[in-house]
Amino acid sequence: MANLSGIFFCAVLALVVVAIDIWAILDIAKFPLDRGRKKWIWTNIVMLLPIAGGLIYFYVGKKDLLAAKR
């Protein structure tokens, strides 16, 4: 029974990671195309670092894209 709870925990953790990554990618997509290079870089960071990429984007990248807006 302990093995089943471990599998459940891993499945929930995987869903949380995927949800954060999708949320980050959708947030990146809402910025205009004139920030194309920064959007491309942040999308790759989120995709290549699935666990940390979304969190890094929300702490650093969102501010970076907003600053590029001005």
Is the pLDDT at 69 greater than 80, yes or no? no
Give the model's confidence band at 30: pLDDT under 50 very low, under 70 low, under 90 confident, else very high: confident
pLDDT at 36: 64
Positive or negative: CA dihedral 56, 22, 50, 10: positive
Nearest Cα to Cα of residue 39 among 70, 65, 67, 69: 65
Q: Which two tokens stand for residue 60?
A: 């650093």
pLDDT at 20: 93
Give the model's confidence band at 51: pLDDT under 50 very low, under 70 low, under 90 confident, else very high: confident
CB-based contact 18:43 (threshold 8 Å): no
Give the model's confidence band at 47: pLDDT under 50 very low, under 70 low, under 90 confident, else very high: very high
pLDDT at 60: 87
